Amino acid sequence: MTTTIRLGLLRLVDSAPVIVAQARGLFAEHGVDAEISIEPSWSNLLDKLTYGILDAAVMLPPLTLAARAGLRGGKARLVVPLSLSQAGNAIAVDMATAAALTADQDADLGAPGRGLLEWIRALPRKPRFAVVHAFSTHNLLLRYWLAAGGIDPDQDIETVVIPPENVVDALEDGSITGFCAGAPWGQVAEQRGAGRVLLGTSAIWPFHPEKCLCVAESWAEASPDALLGMLRAVLRAQVICDDPAEAHAIAALLADTGGLNLPEAASFAALPGGHGRERIRFHAREAWFPARAHAAWFLGQMRRWGWLPADTDLDALAREVYRPDLLSPAVESERLYPVSELPA
């Protein structure tokens, strides 16, 4: 019996496992008919998932946690049974800013130091940086990086939200000074001469968790077989996406004009086997595992910036959202681990 699953995502390289699972027939092998919906923004994607228009989505972990905590209105009972990718984001700035920041050095700015702080405070107005959503890995990592250099992200810069596929246009037309966004958009900014990548976000947190697969808790409870089939298919696709020998084929698949229509060369650069300095990991070193320690870090940063009340039980919230128990049957089926040996 085949079950139809409505699965949403954005135009990003780390959506690759879902695209590969569809193109290689992995969903079909596991009794799933995946109807893939390409959405224009994270807010649009979350709203459709929350209201049952979608069954599953490639999602930002902090946004999932924020929705469950009620930071976007009523509490949305969403869960994360699978981590989808690690790393892959870039902090990029326009060419004039890049020249000013690297005038005395050609080194990577993994640690912002006093040079960035002095540059910001010498400007006639605050520089404007775009992130893809307020509750995003990108915003939290950008804030962490800036704060490490003595910069107050709430006082010293202006932050705006722009969907990832639009950040390069905004950089090019001068609407923003810089952005933090996922692949391929940092590479695209460089290829178009709109800006320069200062650093990949792995310089801030090596191979940090990035996207996850998110579903409504009610759907997971009502459709265990469909959930199992989807997870098994995506787990297998993650293995394929981590194979450097597959990088050219996957980049071509992501460039399909009938699908994500991503720039092929920039997508290839971000894949394992690509030439980019910030590459995505999909499967190796348990990249697929929804580790509650990762959720706890996101929640701790959200509390740090005053988005969560000080008395929020972060451990309880992490356990509500990150559900490795839902993943266990798929992991066993794919012979990754026995349940008793799943990572803690």
**Total of domains in the chain:** 2
Judge whether 272 and 282 are in contact, CB under 8 Å: yes
> Which of 161-170, 228-237, 334-343 comes out lowest in average pLDDT?
334-343
Among 203, 223, 258, residue at a domain's last position:
203
Kindly report the backbone phi and psi dihedral angles of residue 49, in degrees, each rounded to the nearest multiple of 5, phi listed first: -70, -45
Computed on alpha carbons and rounded to an integer, the radius of gyration of the chain in Å comes to: 19
**Once rounded to an integer, what is the mean pLDDT over residues 306-320?**
96
Question: 342 falls in which pLDDT band (50, 70, 90)?
Answer: low
What does pTM read for this prediction?
0.94
Q: Among 203, 235, 260, give the residue marking a domain's end.
A: 203
Token representation of residue 5: 């699953």
Which domain covers residue 116, as residue numbers? 89-203
The whole-number pLDDT of residue 120 equals: 87
CATH number at residue 149: 3.40.190.10
Claim to verify: residue 83 and residue 221 sit in the same structural domain? yes
* 79 and 168, same domain (yes or no): no
Q: What are phi and psi of 253, to 5 degrees?
A: -65, -40
- Tabulate helix, strand, coil % of the chain (nearest 5): 45, 15, 35
Taking residues 328-338, report their average pLDDT: 81
Supply the pLDDT for residue 107: 43
pLDDT of residue 1: 74
- Residue 118 and residue 58 share a domain: no
| Three-state secondary structure call for residue 249 | helix
Q: Is the pLDDT of residue 214 over 90?
A: yes
pLDDT of 341 higher than 80: no
Measuring CA to CA, how many Å separate 310 from each of 77, 139, 144, 304, 321?
Answer: 22, 20, 19, 9, 19
Same domain, 62 and 108: no
Question: Is 107 in the same domain as 170?
Answer: yes
Q: How far apart are CA 206 and CA 179, in angstroms?
A: 19
Residues 6+ apart with CB under 8 A from 45: 8, 9, 10, 39, 54, 57, 58, 59
Interval 178-204: pLDDT, tens: 999 999 999 999 999 999 999 999 999
Answer yes or no: do 40 and 127 share one domain.
Answer: no
Same structural domain, 196 and 117: yes
Predicted confidence (pLDDT) per residue in 158-181, tens digit: 999 999 999 999 999 999 999 999
Residues 144 and 274 in one domain: no
